Amino acid sequence: MKSIGQSNENYGFPPSLAAVMRSKGIDLKLTRAILTKYNAGAYDHFQPVQATGFPRIDGERIIDLTGPLEVDIDLAA
């Protein structure tokens, strides 16, 4: 039995995986299209991004979001 808003088409994904993907809002048809192109080599001409390093943690470029975040905004009068 199919639920309202759910398609019986799983686009080649196993039913359990398709259900989880749908519950997370993942577009199965688009995902299948991207994976098919990827597996066919359609993206092989792109060079991977190479990180040259990491900036030091200065509280401006890398912000620790593991705790509460406080922001001050100076509003014009």
Tens digit of each residue's pLDDT (9 = 90 or more) over 53-74:
887 777 677 777 788 888 888 8
Residue type, 38: Y
pLDDT band at residue 77, thresholds of 50, 70 and 90?
Answer: low
- How many alpha carbons lie under 13 Å from residue 48 in its C-beta half-sphere? 3
The reported pLDDT for the residue numbered 43 is 92
All structural domains of the chain with their residue ranges: 9-43
CA dist., res. 63 & res. 45, Å (int): 34
| Whole-structure pTM value | 0.53
pLDDT tens column, 15-27? 999 999 999 999 9
